[in-house]
A and B are shown apart, each in its own frame.
Chain A
Amino acid sequence: MTTTENPRSRRTDILEDRPVNLDGFVEEWPEKGLVAMESDFDPQPSVRVEAGKIVELDGRARADFDFMDTFIADHAIDVETAEEVNAIPSVEIARALVDPGASRDELTRIGRGLTPAKILDVVKLMNVVEIMMAMQKMRSRRTPANQAHSTSAKDNPIQVAADAAEGALRGFAELETTLGVVRYAPLVAIALQVGGQVGRGGVLTQCALEEATELELGMRGITAYAETISVYGTESVFVDGDDTPWSKAFLASAYASRGIKMRFTSGTGSEVQMGNAEGRSMLYLEIRCILMAKGAGVQGLQNGSISCIGVPGAVPGGIRAVAAENLIASWMDLECASGNDQSFSHSAMRRTARLLPQMLPGTDFVCSGYSAVPNPDNMFAGSNLDVEDYDDWNTIQRDLQVDGGLRHVREPEILQAREKAARALQAVFAELDLPRITDEEVEAAVYAHGSEDYPERDVLEDLKGAQSVMDRGVTGLDLVKALERSGFHDVAENLLTVLRQRVSGDLLQTAAILTDEFVPLSAINDANDYGGPGSGYRLQGERWEQLKKLRHVTSAENPETEVS
């Protein structure tokens, strides 16, 4: 069929070519759960307690509970307060969340008794600025922090070590890696652990793998924490993920029993993406995940849609819902590693807007994966931010006087850390009789940007080496010894100090990180005490002086020169 084509205006042409129009957008479809947080198909809040047990939850009688209802009713919700707090009008709770005069403690007390539908009813009343106001008060740790991905498209351990060192130096409190070829994991996890401790002492590392393997690396002390413990909001999707709330709760205890920090992962959109949202909104299902995590007694949650960000990102109000899910995790008194960790948009403007609801109020980890490698090397399928955004990030911190956890570092320091990380890894590989790292590779690491800038590795030899790490039972302690024997005394000492933290269990408490003096900072000794203007975390003093520095800042005394 032919139609007469109207000529298009030049403006339309220009708009058509804007990157934002490469993004995908869809209409809502509430019956299938393709709706952010406002759906007629979500249950109405209700709760009834009999003989110390919840017998009705959000309109469902106990006999009809699925396993999520059962777990939430029996483990997450405070039975003693449930009827009382659920009777508080939602608008009162929503206003208290925003009101600096209402304390975080009082709100967590209320939160402990609420049902999923009631929590949804409360946050539905809040616009995105109110959600940010509430996040500022409700995040558990007073000092915000950030987390990075350090991966390689070629699983090149030298690249991972050098980028980990640079990332640590720039300020990330946690570093995460994963693999293209899973069998590479032991070598890459070692590289991350060694490189991270070169940049600054006290950085925590993890390697995202299938649950059992991830736990095994953690038990050996090759990684310091874990995060890829996915939970889902419907029973059917949970089972498709080959787990239940009980298996995940057991896993949480298994990690803690080895002194290893751990958080769960969930996010809006995962259920509809996996094809069984049971007709509920994305946020309602995410609230069930948050309460499941709470009930399991895990200290924290990575949420904010995570790898499913394209789903809420495509529907109206989706990014508001993502901000709301982070807020709810914090309100439920969990550490929140708040997303911003997946390729999200072709539009730089939209990428930034998606970030601000976490960056401005501050969260426990603003990104749960800022790509500390170029995005093509990001084996988590790319992040919302990558190495090419470092200067933009630092400038936004300086413009708005907010602490996003990073800082500008001068090139000589960066090159020195990259070289030291590569040399330390070279020495560790030699000590452990792993495939050789050449001087040429070390030199490449100093000046490289991405994996294509490194000499090719012999992959088969590396995989044999990786297998031997597992077969020989190499542990974190072996890495300490190898570093010490080869003269990297300070790196060895840093790693030993991180490993020693397992014995104390301090990193198991909510939102714990290590300062560069190795002092654990958690929601106990650094509890968020925000109570309005002039209180809570303020970017000032020495830290603010650090963040005033950028790559190019003109000297006030001599306009011809730059300070940095």
Chain B
Amino acid sequence: MALLIPTSRFLRDFSSRPKALCLQLCLHLALAIFGTVGTSTRLSAQNALPAIRFQAIQIAGARNAQPLNDREITARKWVRGLIQQELNALQSICKLNPAQSKELVNLIETEWKSKFASVFRSYSEANQRGGVDFEFRVETAVKTWMREVDAITEEQRTNWNFELESRNALRRRIVIGKMVSDAERKFGLSAKQMKEVETLLQERWKEAWWVMYRNGTTPETKFAWISTALSDAQRTAGADTSAGRQEYYTSGGSTDLPSKSLAERFQIADVQSDESIQLQTPPAAPAKPQP
């Protein structure tokens, strides 16, 4: 009965104003369809999420249980070594109190592995050519962790940023120095011109140059960047790309990365990370059978 009354009213109205009611009907239908679709998507997503979470836990668990290859273990040790050095430098510059130290160390011990998962993965791939810039990644991560610890004061953060800036200045000196030396050979620069070229390159500094340098390539000094410092004869002669430089890759050699055992805890001064945080020492890969 309740259904029949609106239906009869609708039919009566429809006979008097067919066009307007047609539009109204279409609108209602569209809303009903959208509502149904939205609800069904929400419902399916709600059902799916726990399943995805469960799968992720399974994958993570399986990964933890997996024996790691030598390269991945080495990469983890290097990252831990670099983090520990950053913490030492942080203590020396910012003078953290025990509470600040404890919070920071706990945070790092909990997150370090997930934060560098992509770094370990890319390093453990056998086809890495130039290597991975561990130092830059660690530096960025420590900076992020410092932001997350509320107990660290603004002044301490500023001091640390100043330290990082001085580190960057040294990097700029090295990369630009390399580029100037390169330009000296290519264009036949005099000592005076080398200084001028250095100033020109300082103005054009890009962070990407350091990344390139760490990956084993000296960024190219473009002719257009330094042409104002060249004489007419030098400009006419152009660049000699083969001048007095030999580059080749060699396997092996001493590395400049510090290493820290996976079983040792991070510490700042005498403050160590909580015992409750599991170190999750990965099982080592089984030894290769002797032939």
| B partners with A | no
Chain A interface residues toward B at CB < 8 A: none
Chain B residues with CB under 8 Å of chain A are none
